[in-house]
Structure 1
Amino acid sequence: MADTAMSGAAGTAGTTQPGEPVPVLPAARSATGADALDGAVWRLRSRGCWDDAAALLEPHAAGHPRYAIRRAALLVERCLFTAAGWAAAEDALRAAEAVAGDNDERGAAACERGHLAYAATVLGVRDRADEARSALGRAAALLAPAAPGRALLDYRRGLMAEHVANSPESARAAYRRAHAGATAHGDTLLLSFTWRHLAGLALRDGELAEARHGFAESLRIREELGFLVGTAPALVALADAAPPEEAEGLRIEAARLFRLMGGVPTWLAEHLEGVPEAPAGRAAQ
């Protein structure tokens, strides 16, 4: 600092969402213990205010690769959630690439470059799959096996395997590596994504109990961290594996949050089409 490949902008919740980004962002967790800037960026990012969060980082980004990469990551995330802001993300990425000084920094910038190209591909903006593969391969060559950014890279290579190459087994192996890396480095938010995508593959294979567990863990983490912009997708994913009587309530709550967030992420809209408003008083339950 959100699942089979999408056709156009989105597919079926749980297994066919585009895969949300998890940028290299120290504040991609609760703000407890983070410095004031990290905390402010996290609060804005978690509510989908990416432009405001990036603006906080801009004064620090010119001579500091860490901040430049974080700023680029925020704007790449905005693209995947809103299908807009591509030019700003490209500009931020070029700036981050220009100031990156060591292999970890260059690898992190390449990872964001690959994720932006992936987002453009799965959202149907432009086929940039070759660029995504090249950038993620470059990141793999630059990042040491034990580097903190390696888990994020493994997760994103899993997204490419699942949604672009249609290779669920390769995706599962990459997600498992990412899950292990996120656990080792204490990246709780990344764990919510790896839980979710492993659960999506389990659901695809008919492993309902495993899918429910993974989706529930993903939702629990997002709620505990206050990752509001990612909570509606997690609710919809869990609804796909829940009994009908529970699924309806999960989708109603997801629709309420989706409207609260102003229709973000945009690709969730078709999954919530026709879901009614929550009955009076239900949202507070």
Structure 2
Amino acid sequence: MDERIERARVLYERAVFDGDATALETADRELDAAEADLALARGRIVHGRFLDQRREDPGELALFERAARLYRALGDVRGEGESLFWIGIFHQVVRQDNGTAVPVLERSHELAAQTGDKLTMSYALRHLGFAEHVAGRLGPARERLEESARLRRELGFLPGVAANLIGLAYITDAEGRRDEALRVLDEAAELAEASGAHGILRAVKEAAQEIGRETLLEFGTDPA
């Protein structure tokens, strides 16, 4: 960020002192890219605060939408896809509105696939799986979570794999296969412990307790 701001200063001087008017256009684009990155990063922090306090900040959505607009104008498909994911997360997790979230998450996945952004693809698929589960469509929910987990294994993102296995355990239990669901949770616990993902490990233990009591936790509570 600091480098791009300093470069904007240099480009300004090039325009003013050297008469290179195109330098200003370059500076605008670079500052727009910096602003998009900052808006996306700040939006994630605001969302993290929501997960901790469970209190909506109206500025969260505005930050993600600003990032998406800037990335779109810049032709940055990868950045736009990631921003759209977070817009979808806001609607699904903060507003509990899957009807609004799903089309945005689908578009995020589409753009991420175009650029080979497997991490964003995995996140979008995870939350599309949550939406399917909430709607009672266990088959499509399983397909999306399994594909998300596959992508995460390819990336070596083991805490993310463990998080998806929790979701798959709930689906497996809903299908009437409790013993298998608990075995899935065993794998999730191993992965979470091996990667030091203590928050995910706590979620595994909670899931094991909930499945044992035949009570499902609410899905879509975080974007892991």
TM-score between the two structures when normalised by the length of structure 2: 0.72
Question: Does the Cα contact within 8 Å between 1:110 and 1:139 map onto a contact in 2?
Answer: yes
Shift in Å, 1:127 = 3.6
**Contiguous gaps of at least 5 residues in structure 2:** 6-28, 210-224
Partners of 2:57 and 2:169 lie apart in 1 by 31
Q: Which residue of 2 aligns with 1:224?
A: 154
Question: Does the Cα contact within 8 Å between 1:255 and 1:275 map onto a contact in 2?
Answer: no
**What is the root-mean-square deviation in Å for CA atoms of aligned residues?**
2.4
Three-state SS of the structure 2 residue aligned to 1:129 is: coil
Q: Which residue of 1 aligns with 2:205?
A: 272
Distance of aligned partners of 1:102 and 1:274 in 2 relative to their CA distance in 1, 3 Å threshold = closer
Question: Does the Cα contact within 8 Å between 1:199 and 1:215 map onto a contact in 2?
Answer: yes
Q: Which residue of 2 aligns with 1:215?
A: 145
Shift in Å, 1:272 = 1.8
Shift in Å, 1:229 = 2.4
Which ranges of 4 or more aligned residues in structure 1 deviate by more than 3 Å?
Answer: 273-276
Shift in Å, 1:120 = 0.5
Task: Name the structure with the higher helix share.
Answer: 2
Three-state SS of the structure 2 residue aligned to 1:195 is: helix
Q: Which residue of 1 aligns with 2:17?
A: none
Question: Does the Cα contact within 8 Å between 1:179 and 1:194 map onto a contact in 2?
Answer: yes
> What is the identity, as a one-letter code, of the residue corresponding to 2:112?
A
Spell out the pairing of 1:76-155 with structure 2 (5 A cutoff). 101-124=30-53, 127=55, 129-144=57-72, 146-147=75-76, 148-155=78-85
Distance of aligned partners of 1:166 and 1:275 in 2 relative to their CA distance in 1, 3 Å threshold = closer
> What is the identity, as a one-letter code, of the residue corresponding to 1:123?
D
Q: Which has the higher contact order (CA 8 A, sep 6+)?
A: 1
Question: Does the Cα contact within 8 Å between 2:4 and 2:30 map onto a contact in 1?
Answer: no
Three-state SS of the structure 1 residue aligned to 2:72 is: coil
Three-state SS of the structure 2 residue aligned to 1:166 is: coil
Shift in Å, 1:267 = 5.5
Deviations 1:183-233 (Å, cap 9, x if unpaired)? 111111111111111011000001011011111101111112211221210
**Contiguous gaps of at least 5 residues in structure 1:** 1-60, 66-99, 277-285
Deviations 1:104-129 (Å, cap 9, x if unpaired)? 221121011111101101222x7462
Q: Which residue of 1 aligns with 2:180?
A: 246
Deviations 1:11-30 (Å, cap 9, x if unpaired)? xxxxxxxxxxxxxxxxxxxx
Q: Are positions 1:189 and 2:119 aligned together?
A: yes
Distance of aligned partners of 1:189 and 1:270 in 2 relative to their CA distance in 1, 3 Å threshold = closer
Partners of 1:248 and 1:275 lie apart in 2 by 7
> What is the identity, as a one-letter code, of the residue corresponding to 1:134?
A
Partners of 1:267 and 1:114 lie apart in 2 by 22
Q: Which residue of 2 aligns with 1:48?
A: none
Question: Does the Cα contact within 8 Å between 1:236 and 1:254 map onto a contact in 2?
Answer: yes
